[in-house]
Amino acid sequence: MTRVLIFVFAFTVALSSWEHAKAHDPDEAELEVPEIAVVGEKPVAASSQQFIPDKEIVLQPQGRPAQVLRLIPGMIAVEHSGGAGKADQYFLRGFDADHGTDVAFFADGMPINLRTHAHGQGYADLNFIIPETIEGVDVSKGAYLPEIGDFATAGAINFKTRQMVQEGIAQATGAQFDTQRYLLMFSPTKDKVKTLFAVENYYTNGPFENDNRYLRTNVLGKLTTSFTGRDEFSIKGTFQKSKWNASGEIPLRAVDTGMLDRFGAIDPTEGGSTLRATGVMNYHYDTTTNGQFFANAYGQYYRLDLFTNFTFALNDPVNGDGIQQSDRRVMYGGDIGYKQRWDLWGIPVSGTAGVQARVDDIHPRLGTQTKRAGTGTTTYTDVLSASYAPFIKGEIQPLSWMRFVGGLRWETFTFDVRNLCTTCALQPAGRTSSGILLPKMSMILGPWAKTEFFVNYGEGFHSNDARSAVQIGGASLARSRNYEVGIRSRPWGIEGVEFTVTAWRIDLQSELVFVGDEGTTEIRGPSRRQGFEVAARGQLWGPLYVNGSFTWTQAKFRNGDAIPLAPEFTAYGAAILKWPEGLTSQLQATYLGVRPLIEDRSIKSPSWIVFDWSQRYQLPIKLPHGRLEAFYFIQNLFNTDWEQAIFAFESRLRTEPAPVNGIHFVPGNPRTFMGGVAWHF
């Protein structure tokens, strides 16, 4: 870590000196072209598509980057294991997407979801993201965009990082449970070469009886420039390393009898460590004839060691049911394409053609462990997963009030699995390939009276675990058919607030369901989800801004059984008040309704609602350089007892003579105060 910081500092000084020398070279003639900023709303293809700006992100409590996701109507992310080091559990459009199976995540276009992951298909850990580096979040629900493929069943989310910051920031934050967070972010150069560097360090013990000792370090460096004046080139690197202890999913029956505290643990040795290093390159060139060439590339190195115990002493009363899951991989890929805009007899038309490719070289292992000491191997494989996806996209506006967007995407996957364990009980091996053609189409009508109407159809998919695909012959790619109609409006009298109403349906070819005694998922039959969402956001009056949403979903298998964990009702509301003299206040509430935990609906989770309060204040203190800002967050303002991840499965405690089928949960944090000071320089 010390070497990384030294390199960042040295590179920053060198680059700053080069910029300074270049700007003052008397022998070099330069044409100074002023930078012009054009601000406008980006056209959308669906009523549910949106962009979340950074001004809302900075008001979220610090520590978990996934907190940002609740700003998306109908989306909730919760901690999964009583320790913040793992990927979160994501809910959207009736999907318990587990760690990311049916929601595609990207960072500057680089995929975050990991295929054939040791813990769960589509595993998407967002903890390598530093929230303050995010310029905004692009959200597209459904599967209506040809440029997005795997895992975008319920939707896709792209975190866009800043090119630079006008002010540097040095920030220190403290909270209960020994929580500390430190952030340094600045831009050494801001003109022709824009740079951004950020370092974050976070530590917490959490509210649990057995300290989490969660330590996370993140580093980001980004450079953006133009070679010709008509292009833009950026390169970004990130590094994350973290380790933690976890209290796991505890049985409700043990808490009800007083045997265990809500923040206790049956097996306090759960936890893990992870490391991720990424590199991303983005480039585009604008031609003189309204065309654009684009090329993007990325690479990742990733590792995870995870120790869990879901069923305690169900299978092994002597040593316990501890599981060790390890993942080592290199992932790389990118895309290249061309977009052209022109007028066809006075009609605006645009077309895009491109191809994407991705390769995952994976080494997943599943074994048994006791107190983090390995006791056996269940499966150990080499997996090479590759995909290639050409796509075309077209847009035409034949009338001022009518616009069509559509396209086709063809996905080809190859899975090559080699068994590395000749004595294992499970020995998946083999090679298979699969392809899928995905049509997309959208119609946008309006605006009339500041109101637009949207009709959408698109087919998407999520890939399944390569080991399952070659071993049991299941469908490698699970197709989804997405339907959506909606409106987007700024009604007269409150033009500052945008309202959206959307009705949708998703039919999925095969479902992935959590398996408690293995900590993995299994392939199930076809399913259908349908529902609607209502949302509003914007400036309601003067200094008052609002953001709220309500969603209803019905999710079930085609045979009528309930889909376990699928939310029925979700809601979010926030009021932001910008006071005079530099004070900003926010009150927000998040609601998750009752969910069936098993197929026959006989066991359900309780609903919960949690309120958070935050304030940021520009201190009236004059400094020679910069300004000071104070802030605080109060999470769970009313100290509600609530459950984050919650499941129903069979387990056995050492004191129990027989297995018991019941609820297991991760408790939500109690009321927590967090505050700090930031120096903007």
Q: pLDDT tens digits for 61-116? A: 888 899 999 999 999 999 988 778 899 999 999 999 989 999 999 999 999 999 99
Q: Is residue 184 part of a domain?
A: yes
β-bridge mates for residue 443, sequence order: 404, 455
What does R_g of the chain's alpha carbons equal in angstroms?
A: 25
Q: Is residue 40 part of a domain?
A: no
Q: In percent, how much of the chain has pLDDT > 70? A: 92
pLDDT of residue 515: 56
pLDDT of residue 287: 97
The single residue listed with the structure tokens 């405690």 is 653
Q: Is residue 220 part of a domain?
A: yes
C-beta separation of 393 from 406 below 8 A: yes
Number of Cα atoms under 13 Å in the Cβ half of residue 94: 24
pLDDT of residue 15: 39
Strands, DSSP E only, in 371-476? 373-399, 402-419, 430-448, 451-463
The mean pLDDT of 109-135, rounded to a whole number, is 96
Query: Is pLDDT of 38 > 70?
Result: no
The mean pLDDT of 445-467, rounded to a whole number, is 95
Query: Is pLDDT of 569 > 60?
Result: yes
C-beta separation of 150 from 115 below 8 A: yes
* Identity at 94, one-letter amino acid code: G
Query: Is pLDDT of 644 > 80?
Result: yes
pTM: 0.92
The mean pLDDT of 657-671, rounded to a whole number, is 96
Q: Is residue 236 part of a domain?
A: yes
**Using 50, 70 and 90 to split pLDDT, how confident is the model at 614?**
very high
Q: Is residue 444 part of a domain?
A: yes
Give me the domain span that covers residue 174.
47-680
C-beta separation of 105 from 115 below 8 A: no
Residue of 4 and 355 predicted with greater confidence: 355
347: domain CATH number?
A: 2.40.170.20
pLDDT, tens digit, 9 for 90 and up, residues 257-267: 999 999 999 99
Q: Is residue 73 part of a domain?
A: yes
Average pLDDT, the chain: 91
pLDDT, tens digit, 9 for 90 and up, residues 384-408: 999 999 999 999 999 999 999 999 9
pLDDT, tens digit, 9 for 90 and up, residues 549-558: 999 999 999 9
Please tell me what DSSP assigns to residue 669. Answer: P
Provide the domain count of the chain.
1
pLDDT of residue 80: 85
Residues whose CB falls within 8 Å of the CB of residue 508, separated by 6 or more in sequence, listed in order: 153, 478, 479, 480, 526, 527, 528, 529
Strand-pair category, 402-419 with 430-448: antiparallel
Q: Is residue 17 part of a domain?
A: no
**Using 50, 70 and 90 to split pLDDT, how confident is the model at 520?**
low
Q: Is residue 161 part of a domain?
A: yes
**Using 50, 70 and 90 to split pLDDT, how confident is the model at 493?**
confident
